[in-house]
Structure 1
Amino acid sequence: MERLNLSTFKWAQKNIFILLLLIPISIKIKVSSSVMLLPQDLLLPVFIVVYFVFKNKFTAKFSRITLPYICLLLGIFIMIFSTLLSFFYVVDSVGLLKLFKYSIYLISLLAIADYYKVDFLNKINNITILLILATLIFFIYNRSLHHNLSWSQFIKIATYSAYNMPTGFTNRYLDLSNFNVGVISNNHGIYGSYLVLISILNLSNIINKGLGIAKSKIVLTLCFINIMLLTSRETFLLIIIVFLMFFLRKLLFKKFNINNLIYFGSIIVFCILIGGWLIYYYEIELSIINKISNSIKGFKEHGGDGSINVRFNTWKIIISMLVLNPLSFFIGFGYNPSRFSEQIDSYAYVTGGKYVTVPENLFLMFTSYGGIFSLMFLLLFFLGLYLQFRKFRNLKVGSFLSSFVIGLFFTNFTGGSIIAELLMTQLGLVYFYCSNANKFNND
């Protein structure tokens, strides 16, 4: 009986791992006008129950490695509690369902914390190659539908069109009523951050001469092409922060050969100059160039960028709400879109400008929906993740990944990519793979 329990438990754990690994190439299913689900949303709870039942206990001793994700889960639990309290004002279950979904993914990650696959990089690379090739084929297909437009005209349309952007699958859905594929929202920041994560893994593998270098070069090239076709300023800021922090750390702690610094620095500068010259001389149109140009034009003509101004106005309103409502500062307003919209509308006089009814900032989101304690657990998540990656001394990718966490910390000031299914799960898989690989190397 004990052997049966162990094999069933391992079977459940393996399937949880596979389902999480497949998220980048999974598409949502539109069940009704307001309900869209990934297949994992339905399957993961089943395997989680099997996992805990055959583990013979519903509470497990988690190692220190799991603490960052336990902190993030506690932050979500506090938001669930605050959301339930908000139902005394108005009932809106949309936010609560999302929080339950986040909890399912986090519990799934904790369930596979000690699941170690030696060929993890090869598996995640296979999925990435399939994902990017399918994404680029879909992008080319969309381009063919606008064959009467020049490349420049198409890019201008695609810059602000979520449907035409090559942003993977997780923001797309299949409508069961007519079997058409639609787009929920523009997730270029989330998808771009995911591509940066995959690029870091493969760049480190190439530098350290690991296994499967040829495939790593292919993945790195595909990631570069896909990133250049995105409109995400967040992605490019993340890249800059990652490499800046990586080089600064090496310089400050004198672990980086000055000759190597000059060598790699020269290559980077050379590539930037050549790339800039090619874009300028051949007038190559890229969505990110259009986005940045429009932002600069907006600052020159109107004193600011429209989307940036809207974010700042929204943040001012939310901060005013929290300051003027001490109780909500501690317990939040709950992830209750209806109530939160009413609150923001009632404090809109603070700015008098355009605003949106979502925080557009991960840290304000946790504070607004769960209060200061929820924010505290979020900060502990980032801190714990950074410190743990720094401890993976046997894995040279640890320095890159700790820099990646710093980059995510800053880029999530303008979004919430870290709790999106795609980035939350894939970063979690990378984190637990690294922790198990580090432990394996130590042993």
Structure 2
Amino acid sequence: MKNIMKKTGIAIMAASLAVSGFLVSPKAAQAAETPNVNANAAIAIEESTGKILYSKDADKLMGIASMTKMMDEYLLLEAIDKGQLKWDDKVTISEYAYKVSQDTSLSNVPLRLGEDYTVQELYEAMAIYSANGAAIALSEKIAGSEKDFVDAMNKKAEKLGLGEHQFVNSTGLNNEDLKGEEQVGGPKDENKMTARGMAKLAKHLIDDYPDVLKTASITKKEFRKGTSDQIDMSNWNWLLPGLIYGRQGVDGLKTGTTDYAGMCLTATAVQDDMRVITVVLHANGGAPGAHTSARFDETNKMLDYAFNNFKVKEVQKAGSKVKNPSTLAVDKGKEDTVGLVTKDAVKLVVPKNDNSPKLNTKVTLKEKKIEAPVEKGTTVGEMEVSLKDGDNLGYLDGKQTETIDVLTASDVEKANWFMLSTQAVGSFFTGIGSYVSNGVQGWFN
């Protein structure tokens, strides 16, 4: 009876809170203060601009566990895009990939030694179920060996500007878990990156290969359906709609968990036409006890904060006239100056309730003068744009402002010989006049 009364009381309290507005969906929640994200490192960005919305120790090098597989995905999708690999290509399972795939204490689908699987099958197992044996098999297919694949991972990280990083294997496992087959570094080594670096990788992955989200958002799928090896794969990203902590708009990207890295998550979601990317490294700060929901709880804090407080707004149209300076001097042209305009529209992340944001702009020209002929649309400088009284979190690439190119607004033809002569004569007499004027002034000094 006591239990019944207790449950009834809780139900009544929940109903009361819901009516009074305390239990609301993330979308309906009121604007909040900057969240206190309980993780060793975290970051949230607006995807299209790269604007940082939240940051906590974002440049601290830390373990990333199976979020490593986002780099695997990038290299695989790049190989597909370049025609170096096809989805139906066969991958023969090596002894190394087989041995790792048989470890049921790790996330895996069982692979048969020497059997052929398609690239598509292994990619889905890796992206949806974080299958480690599948990741190794794909790395061997792409680069010939996991060691050479790791080399490609590190080189790609450099090329993409991901910052400080360390890749020692293709899975994100501790090398000690690789059945004595560790390829790079020592047995205790593990892949590392910063939260900023993970956000950069996520942005590159979404921008360059957006179809990755079609796979990353699959909640459940059968591996090798209809065979004796069939296994149900459930996505470990429990923020996906339909799963235990499902949130509308979430469609990726990748979880990761090891003792060293803790519980990690790179997530992305769309709401009100704005995409946000979040990264949590070592959720709960390594606190003891069962914290299954920690990475999802901390991610939700950042998503709530981002969507409740910010929006992307076009603050200046493409081709807008530039002010201060509004023109650039032209040498040997039919006109003495040419007007200046912006190349692209300027979009900024602004407070959600600000419909007329005030801006700071700064124009920097390459040269003080341009020689005719001048072609319309010639890039002659750039303009920095930022919000007045905005934050100092800056952008993912380290910049503090949005930067766009400044172009010439029209053509300016080169003056003919007569006009050039006239200009030269005018300049001569202007110079003489200045000389005489200065001389006369000198008489009275």
* TM-score normalised by L of structure 1: 0.25
| Higher helix residue share | 1
- State the structure with bigger RCO (CA 8 A, min sep 6), 1 or 2: 1
| Higher strand residue share | 2
* TM-score normalised by L of structure 2: 0.25
